Amino acid sequence: MKPIKVGLLGIGTVGAGTFTVLARNAEEIRRRAGRPIEITMVADLDTARAKQITGGKVEVVDDANIIVNHPDIDIVVELIGGYGIARQLVMTAIANGKHVVTANKALLATHGTEIFRAAQEKRVMVAFEAAVAGGIPIIKALREGLTANRIQWIAGIINGTTNFILSEMRDKGLDFDVVLKEAQRLGYAEADPTFDIEGIDAAHKATLMSAIAFGIPVQFDKAYVEGITGLQAADIRYAEQLGYRIKLLGIARRAANGIELRVHPTLIPANRLIANVEGAMNAVLVHGDAVGATLYYGKGAGAEPTASAVIADLVDITRLATADPEHRVPYLAFQPDAMTDTPILPMDEITTSYYLRIRVADKLGVMADITRILADAAISIDAMLQKEPAAGETEADIIILTHKTQEKKAKQAIAAIEALEAVSGQVARIRLESLG
Ligand code: NDP
Ligand code: HSE
């Protein structure tokens, strides 16, 4: 059969990985796909580097528009990133009847609705396995493998950079900035690393998973996003002493009155498998009503792991390109006319447990005041740790773990605790999930 022709937009970390793996495993991939998959054109701003990577075997251009408008190209692979030029190129490719593969979670989490609608109209596929958890086939698992289930919740370590930073800080006592630079050198971090450390990248991915899991539109603007920049080394230490690890989790949960969609540092019991996912590795726990909990683990970033997902999409499209569009797997798992408008809950309405670190003057009655405030708010205490003041100091830390409560109640109680005379500064608050 004649080869399917691919145009690659952007040959940076993931683009180069895709080119290399596709060339190395060409024969194996052909046997799986049923026909050869060939990258015939590459666009990159740095054409000299692109020519070096491709070894003069393909046409290299500096204007990606040439590829998305080229009549010979069947599939466009967008690996530029961001939602500027990438959005325009993807929309043009779709308008020209080309299938699209992208690793660009930022683009899909913010403009997914528009992109999927356009693709539906033009009867082309938009595939994005690489956009969530890099090499882990989590999109396929959610969209196909778990299709019998009513998904109840998803909790994932879905940003390699922040997991790498938290692991290195905890294990080696390294500084935040040093570890971030190393993550950038290794190609894990986004072009703008703020996306990683402020939780935005994880929220893009959690948003995509929430849409596929619950059959709701892609709504990044409704996600709660909190990164790791406010985390203190003391909290990582105290969490350990209480038997917990702190991870940046992306959570999507079906609640009684809506969907919780949130990214924030989270205490997880240290004996959970997911708590032991270290370095740049990713892991996603999915709980379905029939299957129970399932865990997916692997490399969430890097050239070849991400290429693995990009190429899996290329093979899927190659196999399905000739299928009637009505019989393809829907982009967001549910048929477009069967999506629901279940709301994403405001953060005040979510329910979780809390770790609280309270800095207090070492005075009689402080503990009683704090516990009374929590009792009045109907927040029950699960565990408590009281530290002696360090030598020469008059203040000490009290650490409290609560049982589940509503965020709004926790916020009110924290404000009341902060108003106590014996309490100094702000109460450090980190959410806690047992993931049982
Ligand atoms: P890179 O920055 O390494 O690569 C992007 C490439 O696109 C660069 O070579 C860049 O050229 C080129 N480029 C920029 N603008 C244009 C343009 N207008 N026309 C043609 N080429 C252009 O990014 P990554 O490979 O790391 O990421 C690509 C995508 O994959 C992003 O959406 C990212 O979020 C996603 N992703 C990345 C992962 C990773 O591990 N890195 C993992 C999963 C997803 P130049 O350098 O000259 O500007
Ligand atoms: N910056 C991302 C990460 C790349 O660190 O996980 C993979 O999406």
In a domain, residue 343? The reply is no
Residues 118 and 178 grouped into a single domain: no
Strands 99-102 vs 75-78: parallel, antiparallel or unpaired: parallel
Domain of residue 271, CATH code: 3.30.360.10
Q: Which residue among 317, 338, 359 closes a domain? A: 338
Q: Give the pLDDT confidence score for residue 419 in this predicted structure.
A: 98
In a domain, residue 83? The reply is yes
Instruction: Quote the crossing angle between the two packed helices 366-376 and 407-418, to the nearest 10°.
Output: 150
In a domain, residue 196? The reply is yes
Residues 164 and 99 grouped into a single domain: no
The ligand whose atoms approach the alpha carbon of 164 most closely is: 2
How many angstroms separate the alpha carbon of residue 112 from the centre of ligand 1? Answer: 19
Q: Give the pLDDT confidence score for residue 117 in this predicted structure.
A: 96
Predicted TM-score of the model (pTM): 0.96
Residues 17 and 128 grouped into a single domain: yes
Q: Give the pLDDT confidence score for residue 188 in this predicted structure.
A: 84
In a domain, residue 234? The reply is yes
| Residue 11 near ligand 1, beta carbon < 6 Å | yes
Domain of residue 44, CATH code: 3.40.50.720
In a domain, residue 344? The reply is no
In a domain, residue 107? The reply is yes
Number of folded domains in the chain?
3
Residues 100 and 206 grouped into a single domain: no
Q: One of 98, 140, 205, 247 is an active-site residue; which one?
A: 205
Domain of residue 413, CATH code: 3.30.70.260
Q: Which residue among 314, 338, 362 closes a domain? A: 338
Residues 192 and 98 grouped into a single domain: no
Q: Which of 8, 9, 13, when mutated, tests ligand 1's pocket best, judged by the most ligand atoms within 8 Å of its CB?
A: 13
Residues 373 and 312 grouped into a single domain: no
Residues 287 and 144 grouped into a single domain: yes
How many angstroms separate the alpha carbon of residue 187 from the centre of ligand 2? Answer: 9
- Domain containing 403: what range? 350-431
Residues 24 and 8 grouped into a single domain: yes
Q: Give the pLDDT confidence score for residue 53 in this predicted structure.
A: 97
Write out the chain's pLDDT in tens, 436 residues: 899 999 999 999 999 999 999 999 999 999 999 999 999 999 999 999 999 999 988 999 999 999 999 999 999 999 999 999 999 999 999 999 999 999 999 999 999 999 999 999 999 999 999 999 999 999 999 999 999 999 999 999 999 999 999 999 888 888 888 888 988 888 888 888 999 999 999 999 999 999 999 999 999 999 999 999 989 888 998 999 999 999 999 999 999 999 999 999 999 999 999 999 999 999 999 999 999 999 999 999 999 999 999 999 999 999 998 788 888 999 999 999 999 999 999 999 999 999 999 999 988 899 999 999 999 999 999 999 988 888 888 899 999 999 999 999 999 999 999 999 999 999 999 999 999 8
> Residues with Cβ < 8 Å from 119, sequence gap 6 or more?
94, 100, 125, 126, 331
In a domain, residue 195? The reply is yes
Residues 238 and 221 grouped into a single domain: yes
Q: Annotated catalytic, 181?
A: no
Q: Which of 76, 306, 310, 313, when mutated, tests ligand 1's pocket best, judged by the most ligand atoms within 8 Å of its CB?
A: 306
How many angstroms separate the alpha carbon of residue 88 from the centre of ligand 1? Answer: 15
Q: Which two tokens stand for residue 302?
A: 């890097």
In a domain, residue 381? The reply is yes
Residues 186 and 47 grouped into a single domain: no
Residues 252 and 111 grouped into a single domain: no
Residues 281 and 322 grouped into a single domain: no
